[in-house]
Each structure stands twice: as C-alpha cells, then as structure tokens.
Amino acid sequence: MNTDIQKPPKKSFKIQMLAAREMAIIQSVNRFLAEKGFDAMTVDEVAAEVGIAKASLYKHFTSKEELACAAMVAAMRKAQDFIQSLPAGQAPIDKLKAVTRWTMTLKLQGLMPSLPSQNSSLRATLMANKDYMDGLMEVSDALGGWIEEAQAQGQINKGLPAVAVLYTLFARACDPVLEFLKMGEQHTDEQILDLVMSTCFDGLSAR
Amino acid sequence: MNTDIQKPPKKSFKIQMLAAREMAIIQSVNRFLAEKGFDAMTVDEVAAEVGIAKASLYKHFTSKEELACAAMVAAMRKAQDFIQSLPAGQAPIDKLKAVTRWTMTLKLQGLMPSLPSQNSSLRATLMANKDYMDGLMEVSDALGGWIEEAQAQGQINKGLPAVAVLYTLFARACDPVLEFLKMGEQHTDEQILDLVMSTCFDGLSAR
DNA sequence: GTCTATAGAATGATAGAC
DNA sequence: GTCTATCATTCTATAGAC
C-alpha cells in the first residue's frame, strides 16, 4: 500500500512560512529602496523591520545586492502583470498613458524602488539576473511595440526615435518633479499626476 | 616714512595659492559628485586627485558635507552667471530654453554635480548655507519670472502652475534619459540635446 | 626659532558578511 | 552575536618657509 497518496504534503507548511517571510522581506526592501535608496538602506533595518535575525536574512539572500535585486525583480513582475492586465482593445497611446500613470502612482505612494544610476556593482548584479533582464525585455518590447503603433497612428511624434520615447516613459518612474510637487502640498496626488502626464505627453509649450 | 605704500602685498602669493587650490578641490569634488555621487565619493580620493594631504583638505573644509556644499555653491554660481549672461532682449521662452540646454550640456559632459535627493543630512547642510540658498532663490526668481512672461505671451501652457514648469526644468539637470541615450551610442550629444529639448517643450504626442 | 603644511598613522563608528 | 573592511575625522612627527 502506497501511503504517499494519503500523506499530506509534509514540507508545505515550512515552505509556506519561508515563502511568506521572503515576501515580507522583499516588501520591506522595496519600501526602503523607495524611501532612502540602496546606499542608505542597511541590512540591519531590513532584518529589524521584518522581525528576523540578520543571519536569517542571509539564509535567503547572500548579499545586500541580491536583496535589492530581488525587490527589483518583484517590481518588474508587477509591471509585467499590469501591462498584461490592460484590455487588448485599448489604443496603444492609451496603454502607454495607463502604464505611465500607474508607474507614477507607485512613485507617489513611496512604493517605487529606485536604484542609484551610478552604483555600478548593483547594476552589474541586476544585469546578470536572468529574471530581471527577461522582465525588462518583456516590458520594453511591449511598450516599444505600442510606441511604434502610436507613431504609425500619428499619436506620438514620429520624429522621435522609439527608444527615446521609451526612456522618457521609463524615467517617469524616478521623476523628482513628483516628490517636489508633493512636498509643496499645493496639489493632490491626482492633480500632480495630471500635471506630470500633461508635461510628459503635451510638453511645456502651449499647444 | 611709511613703507606700507611701496610694499608689495606680502600675503598675495600665498593667498593666491590657497585660492587656486580651493578651486582645484572644488572642481575635483564637482566631478566626483557628477560621476559617483556623494556617498560613493571618498575624501581620500579627492585629496589624492588634488595631490594634497587629507589634513590639508580639512584645513579648507571641515567636513565631507561642507566639501560637497562648496561644490554645489560653485555650481549654483555658474548658473547665476549663465543666466545673467543672456541678452536682455531675448524672448523669455528662448531664455528658458537656453538655460535648460546649458544645464543638460553640463550633465552630458559629466560636470553636473547631483546630490541624492534622499540624503537628509546633506540637504540640511545645503539649506543652512546662505550662499547656496541665495543662489537658488535668485535662479528660481529669474526662471519663475520668465515662465510667467512666457505664459502671458502664450508660449508656455497657461494651464500649468509656474512652479510645476520650474521643477520640470530643474529636473532636466538630473534627467537619466540623457545618460541612457548617451550609453546607446546611437546619437551625438547635440542630437540627444535636441531630442530631450523636444520631449520637454513639445511633449511626446504628435503636434 | 617659530609657524605652517604635509604625510602617514591612529581612532572610532558604521555596516556588510557570516 | 562576532568579525572585518571601509571611511570620515583627528593626531603626530617631520620638513620646509619665513
């Protein structure tokens, strides 16, 4: 008689715990990266916030860089999910606007992890991470396709190289204008989003 | 007989040396801040690059933060000089464009010091620095005035609060799109400037 | 001889790694 | 919890200017 069939999966509980803890870690790292950046974030405070020992952290992630990397991979996956959630029938320009606004919403809420574009060791770690690179590629391909469609339809300036448009949209994820306007306390988050969406797509000049 | 009249200024040589050295220090710090940022910059490498002892550095500037501060003050002064060098007859919109392009040129050349917007101790040091704050105020006032004039003349979108326009222009000084396009090696610096100027003032949407 | 600048070592604190 | 590396900052002793 094969008892395996009736046996409840023995490891499942422990694995679930580990997975849950890993999610908690990543969420914590995500917030710290958004709030203070990679350099200012310390492994100690992450461990403290999650409520585990530093040593346990290093069981999951072997370095501070991998920690940040995991958060970036998770963020990228969320972007992929959002992109796939968009209705297929929507016009490409509207999809682009939706993704851009979603990105900026995260940033305004302090949930957009940002890496110092200068830290080379971190960038190297990211570039070596297949999950991250695959996600980045998928997101870039989706947006790139929409950009070209929108240009063909005359809704995005055809004089701009698609890659320049892509970078400009990506850059909204770390646009300091959002924080500055928020600090000024003169506008609601929605108004700030509208303003930056307007400057991004319509420019500063009068139309 | 009063010999003071004929005496050449005795201290002048030494003072000139000190001033020259201070300039060299600030220039070096400026480059490091542009290249690797405040956190990654070490006092040792600054001293090494200038070719003086660390102790001598601390004779001029009593802390790493003051060092960065001095570089920011110098950068701000350069901005003030540029602003004042613009011909009075120029249209406000053209002045705004000139300043924006000049700023981005510096950034492209790796000469635009940028501070992590997150580092609070550094920000506090800067906010406490009268020279810096005065410079910032003067620059903001000049640009703010031109923005309102340009809006009155119908050249800048009147629907945008002047402060939003101001922040959007300031943000060009640390726009990552510049670096990304430069890394791509598909465009000359001039083309990159034209592209970002276009997305900034005319937006991504077709006109 | 006195004063200053320098080089290099010493100190102390922080924070990553295990 | 411990070990260790990195750095900002300070100290000390030497060399040189005046």
Residue nearest to nucleotide D2 (CA to C1'): A55
Angle at A78 between CA B117 and CA B173, to 5 degrees: 25
Chain pair A-B, CB pairs under 8 angstroms: 141
Question: Which 3 state secondary structure label does DSSP give A31?
Answer: helix
The distance of Cα B81 from the centroid of its chain, to the nearest Å, equals 11
User: Could B168 and A177 be called an inter-chain contact, meaning their C-beta atoms sit closer than 8 Å?
Assistant: yes
- Under 8 Å between Cβ of A114 and A33: yes
Check whether A53 has a pLDDT greater than 90: no
Check whether A4 has a pLDDT greater than 90: no
User: Could B174 and A176 be called an inter-chain contact, meaning their C-beta atoms sit closer than 8 Å?
Assistant: yes
Question: How much of chain B, in percent, has pLDDT values that exceed 70?
Answer: 91
- Under 8 Å between Cβ of B97 and B201: yes
Q: Name the residues contacting strand C (CB < 7 Å).
A: A 41-44, 54-55, 58, 62-65; B 18, 51-56, 59
User: Could you tell me the CA-to-CA distances from B129 to B42, B79, B112, B134 in Å, in that order?
Assistant: 22, 17, 19, 9
Q: What is the CA radius of gyration of chain A?
A: 20
For residue A184, name the pLDDT band (cuts at 50, 70, 90): very high
pLDDT tens readout for residues A64-120? 999 999 999 999 999 999 999 999 999 999 999 999 999 999 999 999 998 877 767
For residue A60, name the pLDDT band (cuts at 50, 70, 90): confident
Measured CA to CA, the distance from residue B167 to residue B20 in angstroms comes to 34
Q: Name the residues contacting strand D (CB < 7 Å).
A: A 53-55; B 13-14, 41-44, 54-55, 58, 62-65
Q: Which nucleotides of D are covered by protein (CB under 7 A)?
A: 1-2, 6-12, 18
CA distance, residue A91 to nearest chain B CA (Å) = 14
Which of A20, A123, A199, A49 lies closest to B163 in space, CA to CA?
A: A199
Distance B54 CA to C9 C1' (A): 12
Check whether A19 has a pLDDT greater than 50: yes
Check whether A1 has a pLDDT greater than 60: no
Measured CA to CA, the distance from residue A152 to residue A86 in angstroms comes to 20
User: Could B37 and A118 be called an inter-chain contact, meaning their C-beta atoms sit closer than 8 Å?
Assistant: yes
Query: What domains can you pick out in chain A, each with its CATH number?
Result: 9-202 (1.10.357.10)
For B114, which residue in chain A has the nearest alpha carbon? A118
Average pLDDT over residues A143-169: 98
Distance A63 CA to C17 C1' (A): 8
pLDDT tens readout for residues B179-188? 999 999 999 9
Measured CA to CA, the distance from residue B159 to residue A206 in angstroms comes to 9
User: Could A167 and B160 be called an inter-chain contact, meaning their C-beta atoms sit closer than 8 Å?
Assistant: no
pLDDT tens readout for residues B83-114? 999 999 999 999 999 999 999 999 999 999 98
CA distance, residue B59 to nearest chain A CA (Å) = 28
